[in-house]
Structure 1
């Protein structure tokens, strides 16, 4: 992949919403796109795309020669907001011919998509440690192996999530929707990935790490970490 100029679209200036309703200003958004290593012509898998903001952004970046898989896990496809229907509507927007909507069990992701340059996981990794996601066997270990299988050699696995207190591990994933960055790194590296970079662009030292991410006192302002792993 060759790096092109940083895209400047209306989406880079809007507020992005996802779990916890994060508010990313333009500079942070631009940094996250750069950090992701998504380039023109790339194939990207956006796992659990929510309202599709990241799918739209990556669609703009990869352009007509690229491909974005908007991957809705079957584990959440039954939600009342109709996640699959939302993404199918998005894919019909003008200029979204490079978006393909896919829904399958998380561990079946390699069979439902083509080899990718980047897999993007935004505020979702902690869910791999919840009963809902593990009901069909989607443990973190199984999913990380699936990501390793699906990425091309030299491909990037990018994870952004809510941080919990150091040393807490996975114990707050279900209750607070937070996870210990060190534990995430340990799990992902166990699947064969190598840490390529980390970013503190979303860090917030004033987050006490003790509240649920939806709590009004911290919602949208949680301390977040960003890891970029590479498949050797």
Structure 2
């Protein structure tokens, strides 16, 4: 693990409420597993409140860049972009891009890594084939597509809109169909005590999660 990753996680610029979530999310392990490097350009899909945006920004450093791809429905809410815009102002290498959907996004350059955490199950409720094809085209040859989400083994796509989880096998199949190769998977966020019968908000403990690193052929 690069020292720059740990420095990003330990940064005093991160808010206390983010740091309180670190034990459950293991960001230093996840960022290292995803293959984030100093100087990378990253497209972060649905960054929410910016938990990972801050870490990724400081990990790639001033020579890198993070495109924070925010869904339009956030932009249409009063104050919906306030937090992510404040992060972009604080960190000079973050650019907010408002998108109608994760299927026809346009970026000014190809990126080294497309990143999504705990959102893929939502994308799967739309045209996931188009979304994954966009991720493939957005990446440079040899680029990484990183996917982490709440697991619902053996359910296919049945739990995506009800329990806000997805079957890891379905993700592997869908992403492979877009031309990616599964390079590695991590069990750092696995929780065998999770019964997979409730949504993340209803489940009292830390959910069972999977993390995949896919590679676009070089």
Same topology, TM > 0.5: yes
Q: Counterpart of 1:102? A: 97
How much does 1:129 deviate?
A: 2.8
Q: Counterpart of 1:70? A: 68
How much does 1:10 deviate?
A: 6.5
1:9-53 deviation per Cα after TM superposition (whole angstroms, max 9, x unaligned):
364486648xxxx93329922111101111111101111111112
Q: Counterpart of 1:180? A: 167
Contact kept, 8 Å, 1:38 with 1:61, in 2: the verdict is yes
RMSD of equivalent CA atoms: 2.2
Q: How far apart in 2 are the matches of 1:42 and 1:206?
A: 36
Q: Which runs of 5+ in 1 are unaligned?
A: none
3-state secondary structure, aligned to 2:121: helix
1:33-84 deviation per Cα after TM superposition (whole angstroms, max 9, x unaligned):
10111111110111111111211111111111111101102254334550x3
3-state secondary structure, aligned to 1:108: coil
Q: How far apart in 2 are the matches of 1:182 and 1:224?
A: 13
The size of the alignment, in residue pairs, is: 212
How much does 1:213 deviate?
A: 1.2
3-state secondary structure, aligned to 2:104: helix
Partner of residue 53 from structure 2, selected from 36, 55, 80: 55
Q: How far apart in 2 are the matches of 1:231 and 1:203?
A: 25
Q: How far apart in 2 are the matches of 1:92 and 1:23?
A: 23
Contact kept, 8 Å, 1:118 with 1:157, in 2: the verdict is yes
Q: How far apart in 2 are the matches of 1:26 and 1:182?
A: 23
Q: Which runs of 5+ in 2 are unaligned?
A: none
Q: Counterpart of 2:22? A: 24
Q: How far apart in 1 are the matches of 2:98 and 2:122?
A: 17
Superposition TM-score, scaled by structure 2 size: 0.89
Partner of residue 224 from structure 1, selected from 196, 209, 216: 209
Structure 1 residues 125 and 113: CA distance shift in structure 2, 3 A? farther
Q: Counterpart of 1:44? A: 42
